[in-house]
A and B are shown apart, each in its own frame.
Chain A
C-alpha cells in the first residue's frame, strides 16, 4: 500500500487524439504542471497499524503517539534531509547539529532513497529503544560506518566525532582545542581496534563495547523514553 500511495489523489488523465497544435501545447503545459504538482504532493501513507505493530516492538498506542508527532511535522508523510536537520537542530540551540543529523539521516534511510518514511523511522526507533544490545550496537556501527563498507576507519570516526563536537557550539567551557577530537578518536581506536590494523570491524566493535561497562550501562539509558 505504501508504494501505491504515491499517486494519491491525482485524477487519471484523459488524452483525446487531436491534431490541433495549440491544444497539444496546452496539454503539454498541463502535464508539466501536473508532474510538478505530483512531485510536491507526494503523500505517503504508511502501512497499517497492525503490520507495524507486528514488525516493531511498539504497542499500538505508542505507534499512534509516534505517528501523530511525525505527521505534525511532516504532513506529506516523508521526511527529507532538510526537515530532518531542522528538527534535530531544534534540540541543540547552541551548536551546529547539521552534520550529525546528516549521518543520522543516512543511518535512518536504510534504502538510501533520500527520504525517510514512517516505517523506516519507526523501525529504527524500535531498534534503538526496544532492541537487544546486539541490535543497538549493530545500528550504532552502521551509523559510524559512513560509506557503509562494513569497516570504520579513522577518517570516518573523525567525521563523526567532529560532528558531535560541533553540536556543542562555540561557547563551551573549557574551550574546544584543535586536537581534542583527534585525541578522542585515538582513545576510541585504542579501545576498539583489537588487532591494531587501523580499522574497526563489526565484531571488534561488538566485542569491545560489550567489555566496557560504561557503554553497556548507557545503552540501557533510554529504555523508558516512550
Chain B
C-alpha cells in the first residue's frame, strides 16, 4: 500500500460502515490502537544537515531503517536527534520517498554510491518510480558491464570449474581469447581462408605464355600447385567443420545455422569436383560450382564482429530495401517504356525492345552513364534527362533513409529488448506488491488466529510467528477482513508459505478438514477458476499439513482441470467419511448440506463460529473418536494418476 494513501486509511475504514447493514455475519474486532502517541516531529541530522519530519511519515515503511526501531541505534541522547554519518544529498531522495511514496534517482548521482545508500537505509531499489527507473537501470547495466569487462580480463587465467572436453572445445571456438590454443586455431583458420580466397583470385590471372600455346591463366599453368593449395585449404576447413559439429551443444541447431551452411557451401565444390573429374559432360557444371568457392570469404564473418552486425542489420532492414527495389523497378519500367516509344522512330536505334531499354534506364538513373546506349531523338533526349534527374531523387532519397534506419532499428532493437525486460520487471514488481499486500493480509490473519488460539488453549510452544504488523497494516487487514465477512467469501491467494507453516494443534487440523470437505460439498458442481490452486486459504487460516500439502501439489500441476477432479475425488472421500459416522456434532455440517441455497451464506458464518467455539475447547470429545474411525481410503477416487492423494489422506487419518 502506498505511503500517501496510508493517510486515507481512516476514510476507507469509515466508508466500511456502508457494508454493515448488508452483512449477515458479525464483524471481526478492530485492532486496538495500543500506543496512542501524539504525532511528533523528529530531527534527522545527516552529516550536519538537519531534516525534520513527522514520526508517522517515517513509520509508513516499517521494514526500512528509518521506519523501524533500528534508527534508535543512531539516536544521540545529548542533542535529542538522530545522527547519520552519510551523504545528505542522497538522504534528501530517501526522505522524499517516505514523504511522497516515490523514490527518485537523481541523474548526477553515481550509481554505486546511490546503491550503497539505499542498502544502508534498507530500501530496495526496485521501488524506484517509473519516472527514474529506466535511467537507473541503464546506468546500472553500464556499470555492471564495465565491471564485468574488468573481471573478465582478470578471470581469463582462471579455469572454469569442471567443463567437459566438449564444452571447452565449444567455448574455445566461440571465444578465441579464452586460451592460446583457441587463438592459434583462430588465426590459422583465418590465414587459410585468406589463402584460399587469394588462390581463387590468382588462379584466373594470366601467367605468361608457354611457348607454342596461347596465354594461360595461372591456374592452368601451375594446376598441380593450385590443386595442392586448394586441397590443403579444404582439408583444414573440413576438419574445422567436423570439430565444430562435434563440440556443438545442439548439433541440430548448429547444422541449421547460417555459418555452418556457409562452411558446407564453401567445401562442397571441392568434393563434388573430386567425384566428378572424370565425367566430361558435367564439367561445365563443375566449373560453375567453382564459383561457390568464393563463399569462403563469408567465413570471415566468424572473425569479424562488424560483418555479423552488417548482416544482421541488412536482415532487419529488409523492408526498407524491398521498398527501394520496388520503387526503382517501377521507375525503370516507366522510363524504359517511355524511352522505347520515344526512340522507336529513330533509325539504328539501340532501344530494340523495352527490356533492352531497361539497361539504359538503370545506367542513367544510377548516374553511371556508360554511353553504350544514347537517345538520338529530341523526345528521347528530353525523357532521358528527366530520367536521370529523377534517378538522382529516387536513388538518393531512400539511401539515407536506409542508413538512418540501420542505426534506428539497431538501437530500437536494443531499446525494445530493454523495455520488454523492464516491463516484465515492472509487472513483476506490481504483482509482488499486490500479492505482498494480500499475502501479508493472509499471513497476519493466520498469525492473528493462531495467536488467539494459543492464548485460549494455553500451549506456549509456538512463539509468535512472524513480526507484528504495524498499526496501519493491522487496520488495513481488519478492513479486508470486514469485507470478507460482509460478502461471505474469502481471499484466495497462492501462498507457497502456507504449506510451510504447520499447526501443531491437532484439533484445528481436524476442523479444517471438516470445513474443507463441507465447502467441497457445497461447491461440488462448480468449475473452479483457472487459478493455479484452489488452496485452502479460507476462514480457518490455520492450514494443515494435509490440506496444505494437497494444495501444494495442486500448485505444481499445469492445468486447472486436474484440481477440479482432485477435489471431486476428495469429495467422494468425504462422502464416504460422513456417511460412515453418525456423530451428532456433524449434524451442523450435514444439515448445512440439506440447507436450501439461499441459506448458503449462513454456513460460512456458522462454521466460523464453530471454529472459534471449538478452539476454545481443548479436546472436543465428539470429534476425536470420529477422527479415529475415519476409514483410511486407500484407493479412493476415479483418478488413478494421483496416488499422492492416497498417501496424503492416509497421513490425515493417521492423526
- Chain A: residues with CB nearer than 8 A to chain B? 61, 65-66, 68-70, 72-73, 87-88, 90-94, 100, 103-104, 107, 121, 124-125, 128-129, 136-137, 139-140, 143-144, 160-161, 164-165, 167-177, 179-180, 183-184, 186-188, 192, 205, 209, 214-215, 217-219, 221-222, 224-226
Question: A91-B9, A217-B26, A221-B30 given as contacts; is B15 within 8 A of A175 (CB)?
Answer: no
The contact of B598 among A66, A93, A186, A218, by CB within 8 Å, is A186
Can you list 23 residue pairs at the A/B interface with Cβ under 8 Å? A66-B7, A72-B7, A72-B100, A91-B480, A92-B480, A92-B483, A103-B18, A125-B10, A125-B14, A139-B17, A140-B18, A143-B18, A172-B491, A173-B491, A173-B492, A173-B536, A176-B489, A184-B24, A187-B24, A218-B23, A221-B27, A221-B482, A226-B10
Tell yes or no: B285 within 8 A of A by CB: no
The contact of A222 among B17, B487, B490, B597, by CB within 8 Å, is B17
B600 and A183 contact, CB distance less than 8 A: yes
Known interface pairs A125-B10, A164-B483; 15 further A-B residue pairs with C-beta atoms within 8 A, sorted by A's residue number: A65-B7, A69-B6, A69-B7, A129-B14, A161-B22, A164-B487, A173-B538, A174-B526, A175-B528, A214-B25, A217-B26, A218-B26, A219-B20, A222-B14, A224-B33
Q: How many A-B residue pairs have CB under 8 A?
A: 179
Question: A73-B5, A90-B1, A214-B23 given as contacts; is B538 within 8 A of A171 (CB)?
Answer: no
B14 and A225 contact, CB distance less than 8 A: yes
Residue of A nearest to B534 (CB): A173
B489 and A91 contact, CB distance less than 8 A: no
The contact of A167 among B5, B9, B13, B483, by CB within 8 Å, is B483
B523 and A168 contact, CB distance less than 8 A: no
B20 and A72 contact, CB distance less than 8 A: no
A residues near B313, Cβ cutoff 8 Å: none
B residues near A68, Cβ cutoff 8 Å: 7
A residues near B523, Cβ cutoff 8 Å: 174-175
- A56 to B522, alpha carbons, bound, how many Å? 48
B16 and A94 contact, CB distance less than 8 A: no
A61 and B30 contact, CB distance less than 8 A: no
CB proximity to A under 8 Å, residues B210-248: none
B residues near A107, Cβ cutoff 8 Å: 18
- A226 to B604, alpha carbons, bound, how many Å? 32
- A72 to B53, alpha carbons, bound, how many Å? 14
- A206 to B376, alpha carbons, bound, how many Å? 106
- A103 to B15, alpha carbons, bound, how many Å? 11
A175 and B17 contact, CB distance less than 8 A: no
A90 and B5 contact, CB distance less than 8 A: yes
- A188 to B493, alpha carbons, bound, how many Å? 29
- Chain B: residues with CB nearer than 8 A to chain A? 1-2, 4-27, 29-30, 32-33, 38-39, 99-100, 433-434, 437-438, 475-476, 479-480, 482-484, 486-493, 519, 522-523, 526, 528-529, 531, 534, 536-538, 597-598, 600-601, 604
Residue of B nearest to A125 (CB): B14
A residues near B438, Cβ cutoff 8 Å: 93-94
A172 and B19 contact, CB distance less than 8 A: no
- A219 to B19, alpha carbons, bound, how many Å? 10
Chain B: minimal CB distance from A30 (Å): 31
Chain B: minimal CB distance from A59 (Å): 11
- A168 to B614, alpha carbons, bound, how many Å? 28
A91 and B538 contact, CB distance less than 8 A: no
The 6 residue pairs across chains A and B that have the minimum distance between CB atoms: A69-B7, A128-B14, A172-B489, A171-B492, A218-B27, A93-B434
A residues near B475, Cβ cutoff 8 Å: 225
A residues near B12, Cβ cutoff 8 Å: 88, 91
Which of B17, B475, B483, B600 has the most CB atoms of chain A within a 10 A radius of its CB? B17
- A223 to B19, alpha carbons, bound, how many Å? 16
B residues near A217, Cβ cutoff 8 Å: 26-27
- A166 to B644, alpha carbons, bound, how many Å? 36
A residues near B22, Cβ cutoff 8 Å: 160-161, 164, 184, 188
The contact of A87 among B5, B32, B598, by CB within 8 Å, is B5
Question: A73-B5, A217-B26 given as contacts; is B522 within 8 A of A174 (CB)?
Answer: yes
B residues near A215, Cβ cutoff 8 Å: 20-21, 23
Which of A91, A94, A175, A209 has the most CB atoms of chain B within a 10 A radius of its CB? A91
A73 and B7 contact, CB distance less than 8 A: yes
Residue of A nearest to B484 (CB): A168
Residue of B nearest to A182 (CB): B598
Residue of A nearest to B15 (CB): A104
A128 and B15 contact, CB distance less than 8 A: yes
A residues near B27, Cβ cutoff 8 Å: 214, 217-218, 221
A172 and B492 contact, CB distance less than 8 A: yes
A residues near B487, Cβ cutoff 8 Å: 164-165, 168, 172, 176, 184
- A188 to B39, alpha carbons, bound, how many Å? 42
Chain A: minimal CB distance from B384 (Å): 51
Chain B: minimal CB distance from A120 (Å): 12
Question: A168-B484, A174-B489 given as contacts; is B434 within 8 A of A94 (CB)?
Answer: yes
